[in-house]
Amino acid sequence: MQTTLIILKPDAVQRGLMGSIIERFERKGLRIIGAKLIKVSPELAGKHYAEHKGKPFYEGLVKFVTSSPVLVLAIRGLEAVAVCRKLIGATNGRNAEPGTIRGDFGLSGGFNLVHGSDSPASAERELALWFTADELHEDAHTIEQWVYDPGDLK
């Protein structure tokens, strides 16, 4: 099992898409183990996007993510990082496949609705930035017996 970070960005929040997006993850069988609606500080945005510092789009990215509240989620499931990335779709909504979040709801490359960790290592680093240990609730849910074949969990 993996836990990954998902951020519903200001455009998703302002467009009233939070429920529709969360539903995609839950319908897949993934479990939300942490959630909070926050206004991102420039300091936190800088830490989160540190690898992009100095790139031409960095300032705009920080300005965008701090412009309005975001919904931050910790999502858990088997291969959660890869599964969530597939559900999210290509970065630019115009190029994203129909059926993905960005493919169904997005038309922009910059206003692309959702951030998802791109690797297990990134997920670990990002989750530590956005959540404290006591904000994550990993209690077992009975639904998992209906989501995963017992052979999947070996």
Annotated domain spans of the chain: 2-139
* Model confidence at 153: pLDDT above 80: no
* Model confidence at 120: pLDDT above 90: yes
Which member of 48, 52, 115, 141 is catalytic? Answer: 115
Q: What pTM value is reported for the model?
A: 0.92
The neighbour count for residue 88, using CB atoms within 10 Å, is 23
pLDDT of residue 150: 79
Look at 39-43, 52-56, 126-130 and tell me which has the smallest mean pLDDT. 52-56
Task: Give the pLDDT confidence of 70-105 residue by residue, as tens digits.
Answer: 999 999 999 999 999 999 999 999 999 999 999 999
DSSP-assigned letters across all residues of the chain: -EEEEEEE-HHHHHTT-HHHHHHHHHHHT-EEEEEEEEPPPHHHHHHHTGGGTTSTTHHHHHHHHTSS-EEEEEEEETTHHHHHHHHH--SSTTTSPTTSHHHHH---SSS-SEEE-SSHHHHHHHHHHH--GGG------TTHHHHS-GGGG-
Task: Give the pLDDT confidence of 6-17 residue by residue, as tens digits.
Answer: 999 999 999 999
pLDDT band at 65 (very low <50, low <70, confident <90, very high): very high
pLDDT band at 144 (very low <50, low <70, confident <90, very high): confident
Protein fold of 2-139: Alpha-Beta Plaits (3.30.70)
52 included as an active-site residue = no
38 to 35, 44, 71: CA distances (angstroms): 10, 11, 6
99/50 Cα distance (integer angstroms): 31
124/129 Cα distance (integer angstroms): 9
Average pLDDT over residues 116-130: 97
